[in-house]
Amino acid sequence: MKDKEKMKMRENEDASCTYDRTYRNRRVAFYGEFPYRYPGGHHKARPIAENSYLKGIANELSKSHPTLDFNSAMVTKYDSPDSSIPPHSDDEECIVPDSSIVTLSLGAARQVIFRRKLPGEYKRQVITVEHGQVYVMSRASQEDWDHSVPPVKRADFQGLRLSVTFRLLRKPTIAPPVSAPPTGNSSTSKTTQAPIRKVLILSDSKNMTFDCSLLSEPTVAFRKNLFYLRDLEQHSQSIAQADLVLISAGINDLRHGKADPITLHNHLAAFTGRFKSHFIFDSVSPVAMRADRFNGLNTDISKLNELMLEFSLRSRNFKLFDNLNFGLSHLARDGLHLNDSGKSSLSQCWVMCILIYLGIRKGFDTNSHDLTGDYDSLSTLRFNPYHRSHVINSIGNTLDQETDLSDDHWDGISNLLTNGKYQEPRHVDTSTTEELKVLSLNIRSLVKNISIIHEDITFYSKFDVLCFCETNCVAENLPNGITDIFIDGFHEPIHQPPARKSGKGGGLVTYINKRACDSQNIEKLKVNVDPNDYSGEFQFLKIHNCKGSNKTMIIVNFYRSPSKNPKNFIDLLDNIARGLDRHSRKQIMFFGDANIDLIKYDTDINGQNVIDILAKHSFAQLVSKPTRITDHSATLIDHVYTNNIENISSCNVLTYNISDHLPIATTIKVGNVSHSRRTNSDSYRYNITKQETRLFREANHQIFEQLIQAETWEDVLNTEGSSSKYNKFFEVYTKHYNTAYPLKSQRIRRKFERSDPKPWILPWLEEACARKNKLFHEKITKPTSENIAAYERHEKFCKKHTDAAKKRYYKKQFEKFKDSTKKQWTIINGLLNRGKKLTGTYRLRDSGGSFVSTESAVAEKFNTYFSGIAANIKSQISSRRTFDPGGFNEYLLGPSSQSIYLSPTNALEVNKTISSLKNKSTLDSKIEPIKIANNCSDKFSCTISNIVNSSFAEGIFPHALKTAKKRDPRDSDEGSEDDSTDGEDSDIDLGHDSDDGDD
């Protein structure tokens, strides 16, 4: 096509358009049978003129492509190098799903970029669209792809381009008008007409598409744009004529106008006080992180809503409306505006709020937090539908007809919920032998948080069972398999991957502490559940001989994704509870995240159904406090259910910050314990003894060197007999050893010192972390702006300095062991949680034919066998009664003193041998003192060579050396650089009398 014809087509098309919307860098004209709404813009329906140039293009396109169907056209004008459109998808619900989106390019050539946006499948395709070219996209492709027209450099700009896009739009569905219920008797309502109530809606782009026809008689609504609260004066005349004014604005004042919340509050309070009209202020909704990266805007939004709440409480004509049902799913991709679903939901909420305020529709009784978001006093926010008065008020007297439970039963459940509280982790005690402590938590990715669990193992070791949901963990995809998520002191985790193929948005993992039971007493329980029912994820475990008792407990770990239908989940829960009825005599516990808010039990049908369904199977809910608290909501979506309330000691929510959910600690009584059946891990936990240690520092080495240099060793050399010589040598050496390296008792712990402290956590940092944990508790129980700000400051401070201290420590460790590859890999594997051995079930059959499978029993069998070998052989020899024919003596030669000859040693050989010694974990003493004695005095090596030669000459091995050292396997030879220690060892006699010693 010639350039003149091209220019003429562009001018004709451009002249025929009336642009109805101007963006920052482009202009848009829309024509269509129905209105078109998309994030960031909307257009009213208007027909294409019959004789227009655009109509001609549409007709020609229909003739050349008869399979394409469309009823709208959008013309976009790109008239400068900066004219562009950001990446977006034509995925609006108003576009017919099976239709095609056709774009015709007129004028200069421009690039169009297509991107595949699915995670892990990113692709990018760039095409150059010339004049007269058409490209077609299916509506379905917009779910996976987006497209954009980028700006160009001024030197590359070729001139004006017009883009004409044809779409097939659906007819919009408008909700039926809400009519007011008749009041009074029928005759009065026929003759008396309710007065017309005028409603003015002033809103920014949050919901500019609100359809005023949703409000019908006796209300008349009209809407006007209000992008800034500072512009309210422009609508004074309209406000004076209205009975009710709904204001939805403020975000632009905070975001663009740089106004502070206090100024906006004062302005709004002064302005509304001038009118007799009533006002409803729609609270400003928080924005997504991508629109508020540093969270400064959300802080101002929260402050503004708090000020508006305070104003509404003291004002007679101003009320705050806060819809807590809005979340990230209602936001558009920019994280700031609402998507179509959000706008539709907000419109319905506006209608309901207006009708209730005008008294046309009756609302329901709610607590203040339901309408205002006031969570400053969470102590009054509680779930407790089991209170007798509450049950009667809610469902009448049918309770007495449906169940034979007494008032005492319901009072017991109610009292347990009433006693539920927020508890600081430092106030949680380790479980005793007569109770089972369970920690349940939505951990939001176990792999990301496993390092935190390892560092705070002291806290988690207080519990017997850990139930984690939404782990987002697939063991097969981990670098080292399931060993990457091992926790010290717990059996191998019982892992269930997420139901989704992506491995995200689900998953369950349960840990059983070794002191709770032995591994063979853990059983996976099979429950008849449809494997194709993904309404919820469930994990069933049976623990036999729990804490050494004869009781069996069933643990159910569960999770429901917010995307799953709650009704289907409740039906599945009903089937599972029915399947567990045959185990009703056992203690059954449900732990998990149902994503059903029980704080709204009075008004939420799903909350009522889940409680009623499980109550039908004799299960009661134990958690009473909100478990997920944000800046704008407090919900109880993490549940705990039991079928035996009498065995529950407590159920508290812990103020422990590891996830956006709070963990729940449940204490269950397991009755009397037979101490003879306590496992080996029990003794490890309950019989820990304090150990004395020795300090090996430079000052101690100098003292030891001086003592050895001053020693003559004459008492040893003048003693007769190798055994006596050695005993005397040991006595003198031990005296100097104890003087230079005295035993030190275990020091008193600091106030905030952990029982298993990390070497990089210094005392001042321990105290800072303790203050941070205390502030987090205050933030949860009293979430005032001051408490929140104080916690955030301390949290950033502690994280910064903890990370820096940890980095410095490991840098120092790697520098210290730079010549030891083995030690470096030990450190690396420790950081990566590698090197953990898979735990399995041992089965050993003894001579009697019985099997033993516990670690302690197997170890005891081996110890008994090997320690009794000599006695068994001796008894077998002495019991022989076979005939001895004699005559063997003639074959035996006479004794010879020269049959074995050991050449004597000397001081040089002893010195060389000692110098070659290295520190090893198998040695029962430190090598440094021996080397110091060897190097500082020749008398030391001469004395040892004298003892050895005496032993060779006599043919007697000193009795004192016939002992073995038993070291505690829990002892570690790893100490800090400046504080090395040496634990005392116990001796095992191997059959000879010996003197106890340290070396």
What pLDDT band is residue 384 in, cutting at 50, 70 and 90?
Answer: low
Tell me the average pLDDT across 736-764.
70
Q: Is the pLDDT of residue 464 over 90?
A: yes
Q: Which residues contact 539 (CB under 8 A, 6 or more apart)?
A: 494, 496, 508, 510, 556, 557, 558
Q: Annotate 263-275 with b (16+ C-beta within 10 A) or e (fewer).
A: ebbebbbebbeee
What pLDDT band is residue 8 in, cutting at 50, 70 and 90?
Answer: low
**C-alpha closest to that of 429 among 659, 625, 654:** 654
The bridge status of strand 134-138 relative to strand 100-107 is: antiparallel
Q: Is the pLDDT of residue 655 over 50?
A: yes
Q: Is the pLDDT of residue 708 over 80?
A: yes
Q: Tell me how far apart the alpha carbons of residues 589 and 409 are, in angstroms, rounded to a whole number.
A: 18
What pLDDT band is residue 3 in, cutting at 50, 70 and 90?
Answer: low
Least confident of 126-130, 291-295, 520-524, 536-540: 291-295
pLDDT score of 375: 42
| 3-state secondary structure (DSSP) of residue 705 | helix
pLDDT score of 591: 96
**Which of 184-188, 398-402, 727-731, 995-999 reaches the highest mean pLDDT?**
727-731
Q: Tell me how far apart the alpha carbons of residues 405 and 978 are, in angstroms, rounded to a whole number.
A: 66
Please give the C-alpha separations between residue 647 and each of 412, 502, 664, 759, in angstroms, as whole numbers: 11, 40, 17, 40
Q: Is the pLDDT of residue 182 over 60?
A: no
**Which of 287-291, 319-323, 697-701 reaches the highest mean pLDDT?**
697-701
**C-alpha closest to that of 560 among 469, 635, 486:** 469
Kindly report the pTM of this predicted structure.
Answer: 0.48
What pLDDT band is residue 404 in, cutting at 50, 70 and 90?
Answer: very low
Tell me the average pLDDT across 854-882.
75
| 3-state secondary structure (DSSP) of residue 357 | helix
Q: Is the pLDDT of residue 679 over 90?
A: no
330-358 pLDDT, tens digit each: 677 666 777 777 787 788 788 878 887 77
**Which of 4-8, 516-520, 650-654, 976-980 reaches the highest mean pLDDT?**
650-654
pLDDT score of 653: 93
**C-alpha closest to that of 231 among 273, 267, 207:** 267
Q: What is the helix (H) or strand (E) element at residue 149, kind and residue range?
A: strand 145-149
> What residue ranges define each of the domains in the chain, with the CATH number in brackets?
3-167 (2.60.120.590), 196-376 (3.40.50.1110), 394-683 (3.60.10.10), 691-901+968-999 (no CATH)
What pLDDT band is residue 129 in, cutting at 50, 70 and 90?
Answer: very high
